[in-house]
Structure 1
Amino acid sequence: MAPLVPRMHLFEIDDQTWFPSFLRARVQAALTIAWTTHVPFIQKSSPAHLVAHILSTNLATTVRDYVFIDFCAGGGGPTPSIEKHLNQTISTTPPTATITTNGTGHSPSPAHDDSSYAAVAAAPPPPAQPVRFILTDLHPHVDAWKKAALLSPNLSFVRTSVDAAHAPGDLVGGYKAEGKKVFRLFNLAFHHFDDPLARAILKNTVETSDGFGIFELQERSFLGGFLTCALFGLGILVAAPYYAFLWQSPATLVFTYLIPILPFVLVFDGWMSALRTRTPDEVEALLRTCGAEGGEVEIARWEVRSGKDVFMWPFGRLNWIVCVRKGER
């Protein structure tokens, strides 16, 4: 069912050039906390863990074939956590061992092969290869990405500016040359693009990549938008002392309690984000009209899947869209 409220492309304070950079860093840090925090009894898992599960489920046995590129990574966001959870998941489900056939469509007889069927069946499966994640952004946050990359050999970043509507050929093409497929991630990002830019990004994605995922923590509804964001603001008021101590940042307390800019911006921008968030049907309409090379024939080769998973009881829901070329699951 379409939301009762039409999509409105309103402004967010955190996007404005006049918003102080040190406050922007705190806003982005708070959003990362929202992605990665798991509160017992209220949450079964963090939203980042949910994203890893969604990717693993929807890409199934092909998940190892992809390199995941976050095109709007900001300060890092949930991607380092998604990488950790996804690689933990696939490490427990190694690829199935196969028996090579002899060219007739049948497995070679044990009498004509050095290993028996029993030996092949008993052999340990090959180790699962971890999947790689790449952080990119139009405005790179290299210092923050360095810290994140030090924690995992499967996480790296691009130092230079990357435009999602004009992805560098050596970035996407380089991984394809290695035999990998490219999957683009948009975590709490796609709602920032107006329709012309969203179409340009989808056009470039269809022409150069093999899949993409859009993940949003809000939706255009009273419960999933207005109320969820308001509760997030209350959570910041409660958690601010802990994070001020963790970050060794007394300014966090000042701009939370004395001059409550941080909770105001987080709640206000959350409401604006909810009004800007697209439904799966709206994203699919942009996909059909993005002008990709090959037109409708090329778009017909893509499959759009979507869903809503609860990340905070009772109404905080992760809204997701996963789109891949048909036959690549």
Structure 2
Amino acid sequence: MAPLIPRMHLFEIDDQTWFPAFLRAKIQAALTVAWTTHVPIIQSSSPAQIVARILSTQLKSTIRDYVFIDFCAGGGGPTPMIEKHLNSSLTSSSVPSTIQQNGNGNGSNHNHPNYKEEEAVHFVLTDLHPHPTSWSLASSQSPNLSFVPYPVDASSAPPSLIESYKSQGKKVFRLFNLAFHHFDDPLAKAILRNTLETSDGFGIFELQGRNFQSFVTMFLFGLGILIAAPYYAFVWASPLTLVFTYLVPVLPFVLVFDGWMSALRTRTADEVEVLLRTCGVEGQDVEGSWEVRSGKEKFMWPVGELNWVVCVRKER
């Protein structure tokens, strides 16, 4: 069913050039926490873990054929945690515990019926406004995570970036985590056109939609930062977090306001599919060559829903 509220491309405070960079960094860090935190009782798993499960479920046995490039990684977002959960699940499902413990596949373990000597799935962080310092820290914690230090435009991806992976026999899968709603229709079409021309799949994952539940969820995010601010002020060694949470409550206000604006900007799967068919890609039968799948997953009881769209090129 289509939302009762039409899509409105409204502004978000965090997008504005006048919004202080140090506050933007705090907002991005808070959103990363929302993606990666698992709160018992109200969450069965974190949103990042849900995305890893969706990718694994939708791509099935072909998942190792892909390299996953996050084209709007910001300060890092959920991608490092998605990589961790996905590769952990692949390892536990395909490698016996004895092999996991000794870390090699030598000897008689090769004869184990469930054994697959497979490589891990690789993830790449990119953005039009790169964050090499924070990305370097994240990538240092996993050999399966890397980053591109120069600006990457999702509507015109550098051919060298795409070809570097295709030359290794990999398919390119683009990730848009809490990002696709930021693009107006012309830019969204340009990004999809470039995606269809150069890549083999993409995934759009949003923590909100155009419904009442999402407005409640975003309000709860604001309450969450009021509760968690002392802890993260200590973890981040940032007393200013407390100042801009309680004394001048910019952080909770922007999180809630931008969350509501994001909800109003979020497209349904049908609206994404319309953009796909009208994005102007040449030489391809989009309907015949690409398969669109979509769904919703509960990430926080009772209202939080993760909306997702996964589109893959059909096998020839």
Length-normalised TM-score, structure 2? 0.94
- Seen in structure 2, the aligned counterparts of structure 1 residues 154 and 121 have a Cα distance that, compared at 3 Å, is closer
Aligned to 1:270, the other structure's residue is in SS state: helix
Q: Give, in angstroms, the shift of residue 300 of structure 1.
A: 2.2
Compute the displacement of 1:121 (Å). Answer: 5.8
SS state at 2:40 partner: coil
List per-residue Cα deviations over 1:151-184 (Å, max 9, x = no partner): 0000000000000000000111110110000000
Q: Residues 254 and 293 (structure 1 numbering): CA distance in 2 closer, same or farther, change over 3 Å?
A: same
Is 1:7 matched with 2:7?
yes
Q: Does 1:170 align with 2:164?
A: no
Shift of residue 326 of structure 1? Answer: 1.8
- Return the alpha-carbon distance in structure 2 between the equivalents of residues 124 and 324 of structure 1: 28
* Structure 1 Cα separation of the partners of residues 113 and 51 of structure 2: 33
* 1:240 aligns to 2:240 (yes or no): no
- CA gap 1:2/1:122 in 2 versus in 1, 3 angstroms: closer
> Offset at 1:124?
6.7
User: Do 1:199 and 1:286's aligned partners in 2 also have CA atoms closer than 8 Å?
Assistant: yes
Name the residue aligned to 1:254: 243
Alpha-carbon distance, 1:310 to partner: 0.3
Counterpart for residue 59 of structure 2: 59
User: What is the rounded CA distance, in whole Å, between the counterparts of 2:231 and 2:5 in structure 1?
Assistant: 37
Identify unmatched segments of 5+ residues in structure 1: 96-118
Secondary structure at 2:93's aligned position in 1?
coil
> Among 190, 213, 219, which residue is 1:230 paired with?
219
Q: Aligned ranges for residues 32-181 of structure 1 at < 5 Å?
A: 32-94=32-94, 122=112, 125-181=115-171
What is the number of residues matched between the two proteins? 305
Give the Cα–Cα distance (whole angstroms) in 1 for the partners of residues 112 and 16 of structure 2.
60
Match for residue 322 of structure 1? Answer: 310
Contact 1:93–1:128, Cα closer than 8 Å, also in 2: no
Q: Which secondary structure does the structure 2 equivalent of 1:139 belong to?
A: coil
Question: Which deviations, in whole Å up to 9, do the C-alpha atoms of 1:37-77 show, x marking residues without a partner?
Answer: 00001100000000000000000000000000000000000
The answer to whether the Cα contact below 8 Å between 1:149 and 1:156 also exists between their aligned partners in 2 is yes
Q: 1:294 offset after TM fit, Å?
A: 1.7
Q: Normalising by the residue count of structure 1, what TM-score does the alignment of the two structures yield? A: 0.90
Residue 203 of structure 1: which of 186, 193, 218 is its match?
193
Contact (CA 8 Å) 2:94, 2:114: kept in 1 or not? no
| 1:305 is aligned to 2:293 | yes
Which residue number in structure 1 is paired with residue 252 of structure 2?
Answer: 263
Ranges in structure 2 where 5+ consecutive residues have no aligned partner: 96-108
Distance 1:159 1:59 in 2: 28
Partners of 2:134 and 2:30 in 1: CA distance? 14
> CA–CA distance in 2 between the matches of 1:229 and 1:300?
38
2: CA distance, partners of 1:155 / 1:17: 29
Whichever of the two has the greater Rg, that structure is 1
- Residue in 1 aligned with 2:273? 284
Distance in 1, matches of 2:192 and 2:287, equals 10
Q: Check the 8 A contact 1:199/1:290 in 2, yes or no.
A: yes
Q: Shift of the alpha carbon at 1:277?
A: 0.1
Percent of paired sites with the same residue: 71
Which whole-Å deviations, capped at 9, do the CAs of 1:286-322 have from their partners, x for residues lacking one?
0000011224x24421000000000001110100000
Q: Deviations over 1:177-234 (max 9, x none)?
A: 10000000000000000000000000000000000000000000011x2111001100
CA contact (8 A) 1:90 1:128 kept: no
- Check conservation: 2:75, 2:135, Cα contact below 8 A: yes
